[in-house]
């Protein structure tokens, strides 16, 4: 489909749009029945399938004036693919439910689909189905299926004495959001990181392969997500602030805003970095950096003390 530049969803109609979207999704070898039927059929060779769902809402998770449709597609796919990564798995298939106003430009919906397909392609996953409906605001809900070799890495396996390690950029997206919120467009590297995260997709399976005891992807904020691991495992975690590399653009934004740039690292979400715990003495795989230690007790501390300030993002304001 090559729609007129100003064509809207209502100009094109549901069925033509579904056909056009479906053409944008290449189907991989795991797909036995692809889009177009009542359900898709995906192979799950070892008899188990990982599944996770994330939803992104316009005005809350993205703004159409802050990010191109293609970037939003990358972000919503990344959020889901990252959940499989955090189990130590690899994604195989996605479904996409799109709710959108009738006056949404068709090119926006097509570019969204291209972004989702491209991000899924990074890990070899296929978009196998979806749903399309009218809604007052753009809502994109993605479900990911995946497979995992051996035992999946849960949040609940951290043990006192374990190393805590981080993989992937952390705090960049939060820095980019801080910049955009104040009406700026640079440092460009941070704005780009906000628009299109780069989750460390190889880090999850690598961590699982060396015996990671617990793992989570950072989406609520680093301290908040480490808190989820601590709570699920019944342990305390202490992070060592000196272990975090605070990248130069984050220092620049911190200086410009009069803020401690470490705050972006400790409380930012949406980069989809991974945090995992490993038995003491584990040689960390490529891309992983030790940032703390698991202890007896409960809660999360930084340099042995409670971190002062908000930890991350909570919906519904509580």
Residue in the structure block whose two tokens are 């399938």: 49
Closest approach of a copy of itself to the CB of residue 193, in Å: 21
Nearer to a copy of itself, 96 or 190 (CB): 96
- Residue 185 CA, chain-centre distance (Å), reads 22
Helix residue spans in 170-288 (DSSP H): 172-181, 188-195, 203-209, 222-233, 248-257, 262-267
Closest approach of a copy of itself to the CB of residue 167, in Å: 14
Give SS3 for 120: helix
Nearer to a copy of itself, 142 or 253 (CB): 142
| DSSP classification of residue 200 | -
Nearer to a copy of itself, 49 or 290 (CB): 49
Integer Cα distance of 41 and 32 in angstroms: 5
Closest approach of a copy of itself to the CB of residue 39, in Å: 4
Nearer to a copy of itself, 112 or 190 (CB): 112
Closest CA to 127 of 98, 91, 94: 94
Nearer to a copy of itself, 132 or 236 (CB): 132
CB atoms within 10 A of CB 188: 11
Residue in the structure block whose two tokens are 């898709």: 40
Closest approach of a copy of itself to the CB of residue 255, in Å: 33
Closest approach of a copy of itself to the CB of residue 72, in Å: 15
Nearer to a copy of itself, 159 or 251 (CB): 159
Ramachandran angles phi, psi of 25, nearest 5°: -110, 100
Integer Cα distance of 242 and 181 in angstroms: 28
Closest approach of a copy of itself to the CB of residue 259, in Å: 25
């Amino acid at each position: 489909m090559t729609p007129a530049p100003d064509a809207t969803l209502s100009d094109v109609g549901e069925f033509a749009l579904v056909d056009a979207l479906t053409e944008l999704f290449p189907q991989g070898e795991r797909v036995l029945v692809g889009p177009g039927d009542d359900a898709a059929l995906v192979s799950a060779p070892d008899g188990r399938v990982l599944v996770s769902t994330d939803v992104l809402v316009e005005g809350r998770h993205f703004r159409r004036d802050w990010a191109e449709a293609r970037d939003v597609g990358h972000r919503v796919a990344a959020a889901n693919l990252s959940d499989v990564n955090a189990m130590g798995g690899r994604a195989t298939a996605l479904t996409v439910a799109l709710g959108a106003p009738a006056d949404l430009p068709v090119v926006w919906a097509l570019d969204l689909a291209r972004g989702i397909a491209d991000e899924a392609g990074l890990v070899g996953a296929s978009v196998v189905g979806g749903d399309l409906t009218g809604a007052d605001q753009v809502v994109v809900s993605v479900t990911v299926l995946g497979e995992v070799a051996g035992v999946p890495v849960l949040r609940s396996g951290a043990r006192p004495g374990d190393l805590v390690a981080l993989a992937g950029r952390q705090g960049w997206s939060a820095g980019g959001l801080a910049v955009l919120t104040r009406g700026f467009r640079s440092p460009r590297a941070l704005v780009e990181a906000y628009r299109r995260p780069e989750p460390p997709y190889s880090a999850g399976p690598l961590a699982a392969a060396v015996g990671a005891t617990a793992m989570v992807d950072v989406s609520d904020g680093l301290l908040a997500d480490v808190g989820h691991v601590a709570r699920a495992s019944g342990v305390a975690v202490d992070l060592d602030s000196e272990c975090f590399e605070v990248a130069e653009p984050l220092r620049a934004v911190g200086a410009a805003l009069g803020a401690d740039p470490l705050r972006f690292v400790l409380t930012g979400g949406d980069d989809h970095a991974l945090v995992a715990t490993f038995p003491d003495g584990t040689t960390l795989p490529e891309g992983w950096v030790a940032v703390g230690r698991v202890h007896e007790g409960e809660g999360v501390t930084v340099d042995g003390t409670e971190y002062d300030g908000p930890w991350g993002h909570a919906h519904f304001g509580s």
